[in-house]
């Protein structure tokens, strides 16, 4: 009996450790720019939802710069109609094991193919029905359901650098499992979203057997009879693992669901029209996602050339739109850099004007008419307002045998004798001193 007591103690310690670790959840807060939650831990996986700045999320793990976080309570998922049956207007029951499908924020049911759970839910799992997803043939292809959270938590993936550590005040809003929680009553008919417990033989310590020994000064309250159950057999998921050369198991790449063919022309057209109706910034952000799903659908429908050509037309439009978007971004970046440069030059000119009494400050340029052939040689002095905004503020008249060719394009400060030319409307300056002011100008 001593060995039985010792075994019971070990089981109790293991149970306590498991409970403690489950309650030691980690949390993070979405940064100021928000965060896209994706179906997998790579950018190629489609977006599931967008988390608003300041959202508190539970973190289940981290890898390769991605955080695995729990779905928001309001986020629903899909299950294939071929793997389930409708019990009533509010309940779906699995007829085959299913990992459920992470929802696509852009394409909805038609673009949702990535498994939600690593291990499938067993046959008989009941889920709360939200709505039906109907295909082009007016048949139900998927059901939108609430993901069960009793056995495992639905999770998505967010870039780790888009999260931050929560403050104590933010953590205080997290409800703990032992605060006001009422244990769920077990029933033969589980509620929607709950998994029916397997009916197994329960083994307990027989009545009349000697209980665990007691020791003075030792708490043996956890060493009483413990209810044990036979573990159900492990069900094969069909997703074999491959071993790398170093002997570490590598997970098989996630393949699209067999219902990928439901990504029909009608559904793509609907997503295409919805994307085009969005504001430009939002439409530009969704181009890559729609392009990926169009290409995926074209590949799945390779045996239908007419449908593929229709999809290719949308692909060409999306690629053209992406090219225009990238050109617009480069132009805007160039303009922003020019504005920054003009601001810097304006600050420098104010500093130069206060430090020395220059007659004129500007950029030297050649004159088309005053080239020294038919008329005297003079050089224009342009205002420093940036390329494309030049205006003539004066002329430089070099002395005999002088020219300022090496100063063309440079920003200079000029000290000299000036006279106002009423026909030109500007001053003509005979330089006594010319100082190059901008080392970055030619």
Neighbours of 226 (CB within 10 A): 14
pLDDT tens readout for residues 43-58: 888 899 999 999 999 9
- Confidence check: pLDDT of 336 > 90: no
Q: Which of 156, 91, 152 is nearest to 121 (CA)?
A: 152
Query: For 189-268, where are the E strands, in sequence order?
Result: 202-203, 228-229, 242-243, 249-250
Task: Read off the pLDDT band of 113 (50, 70, 90).
Answer: confident
pLDDT tens readout for residues 376-432: 899 999 887 655 557 889 999 998 888 888 888 888 889 899 999 988 889 999 998
pLDDT tens readout for residues 360-378: 888 899 988 888 888 889 9
Largest CA-CA distance found in the chain, in angstroms, rounded: 127
- Can you count the helices (H) and strands (E) in the chain? 5, 21
- Confidence check: pLDDT of 106 > 50: yes
- Supply the pLDDT for residue 116: 92
- Supply the pLDDT for residue 98: 93
Tell me the two tokens of residue 200. Answer: 């197994």
What is the reported pTM? 0.42
**Residues in Cβ contact with 141 at an 8 Å cutoff, skipping those fewer than 6 apart:** 80, 81, 109, 133, 134, 135, 259, 262
Cα separations in angstroms, 125 against 71, 98, 119, 121, 197: 20, 9, 13, 7, 9
- Supply the pLDDT for residue 292: 85
Q: What is the separation of C-alpha 279 from the centre of its chain, rounded to a whole number of angstroms?
A: 19
Dihedral in degrees, nearest 10, Cα atoms 392, 397, 401, 406: -30
H/E stretch holding 16: helix 2-23
- Supply the pLDDT for residue 342: 72
DSSP 8-state secondary structure symbol assigned to residue 367: E
Q: Please give the share of the chain, as a percent, with pLDDT higher than 70.
A: 68
- Confidence check: pLDDT of 88 > 90: yes
- Supply the pLDDT for residue 388: 53
pLDDT tens readout for residues 270-314: 788 888 888 888 888 888 888 888 888 888 777 778 778 878 888
The answer to whether 55 and 88 are in contact (CB under 8 A) is no
Cα separation, 331 vs 335, whole angstroms: 6
Neighbours of 111 (CB within 10 A): 26
Give 202's strand partners.
229
Q: At what angle do helices 305-355 and 265-276 cross, to 10 degrees?
A: 20
pLDDT tens readout for residues 116-153: 998 899 999 999 999 998 876 778 889 999 999 887 89
> What is the length of the chain?
442
- Supply the pLDDT for residue 368: 85
Q: Which of 357, 377, 358 is nearest to 368 (CA)?
A: 377
DSSP 8-state secondary structure symbol assigned to residue 398: -
Q: Which of 165, 58, 70 is nearest to 116 (CA)?
A: 70
Name all domains of the chain by residue range, CATH numbers in brackets: 24-71+154-173 (2.30.30.40), 76-153 (no CATH), 263-330 (no CATH), 356-436 (2.40.50)
146 three-class SS: strand
Average pLDDT, the chain: 75
Q: Which of 144, 141, 114 is nearest to 46 (CA)?
A: 114
145 CB-side CA count, 13 A:
32
Cα separation, 37 vs 58, whole angstroms: 13
Give 26's strand partners.
59
- Supply the pLDDT for residue 394: 93
Compute the average pLDDT of residues 222-235: 43
Cα separation, 119 vs 338, whole angstroms: 55
Tell me the two tokens of residue 22. Answer: 């489950």
**Residues in Cβ contact with 115 at an 8 Å cutoff, skipping those fewer than 6 apart:** 99, 100, 101, 102, 254, 257
């Amino acid at each position: 009996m001593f060995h039985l007591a010792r075994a019971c103690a070990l089981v109790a310690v293991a149970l306590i450790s498991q409970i403690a670790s489950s309650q030691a959840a980690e949390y993070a807060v979405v940064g100021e720019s928000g965060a896209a939650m994706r179906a997998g831990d790579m950018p190629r996986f489609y977006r599931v939802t967008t988390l608003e700045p300041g959202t508190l999320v539970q973190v289940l793990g981290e890898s390769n710069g991605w955080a695995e976080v729990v779905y928001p309570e309001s986020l629903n998922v899909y299950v294939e109609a071929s793997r389930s049956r409708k019990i009533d207007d509010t309940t779906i029951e699995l007829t085959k094991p299913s990992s459920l499908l992470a929802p696509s924020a852009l394409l909805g049911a038609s673009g949702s193919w990535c498994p939600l759970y690593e291990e499938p839910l067993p046959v008989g799992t009941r889920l709360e029905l939200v709505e039906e997803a109907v295909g082009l043939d007016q048949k139900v292809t998927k059901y939108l359901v609430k993901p069960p959270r009793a056995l495992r938590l639905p999770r998505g993936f967010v870039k780790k650098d888009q999260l931050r550590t929560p403050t104590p005040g933010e953590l205080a809003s997290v409800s703990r499992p032992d605060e006001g929680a009422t244990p769920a009553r077990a029933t033969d008919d589980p509620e929607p979203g709950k998994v029916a417990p397997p009916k197994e033989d329960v083994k307990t310590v027989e009545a009349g057997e000697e209980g665990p020994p007691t020791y003075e000064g030792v708490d043996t309250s956890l060493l009483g009879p413990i209810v044990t159950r036979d573990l159900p057999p492990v069900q094969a998921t069909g997703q074999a693992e491959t071993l790398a050369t170093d002997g570490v198991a590598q997970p098989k790449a996630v393949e699209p669901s067999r219902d990928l063919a439901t990504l029909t022309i009608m559904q793509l057209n609907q997503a295409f029209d919805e994307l085009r109706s969005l504001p430009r910034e939002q439409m530009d952000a969704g181009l890559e996602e729609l392009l990926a799903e169009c290409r995926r659908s074209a590949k799945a429908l390779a045996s239908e050339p007419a449908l593929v050509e229709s999809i290719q037309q949308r692909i060409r439009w999306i690629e053209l739109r992406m090219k225009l978007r990238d050109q617009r971004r480069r132009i805007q970046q160039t303009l922003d850099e020019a504005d920054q440069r003009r601001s810097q030059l304006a600050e420098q000119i104010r500093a130069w004007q206060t430090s020395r009494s220059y007659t004129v400050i500007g950029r030297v340029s050649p004159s088309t008419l005053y080239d020294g052939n038919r008329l005297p040689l003079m050089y224009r002095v342009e205002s420093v307002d940036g390329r494309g905004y030049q205006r003539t503020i004066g002329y430089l008249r070099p002395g005999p045998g002088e020219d300022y060719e090496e100063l063309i394009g440079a920003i200079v400060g000029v000290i000299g004798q000036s006279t106002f030319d009423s026909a030109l409307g500007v001053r003509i300056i005979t330089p006594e001193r010319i100082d190059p002011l901008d080392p970055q100008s030619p």
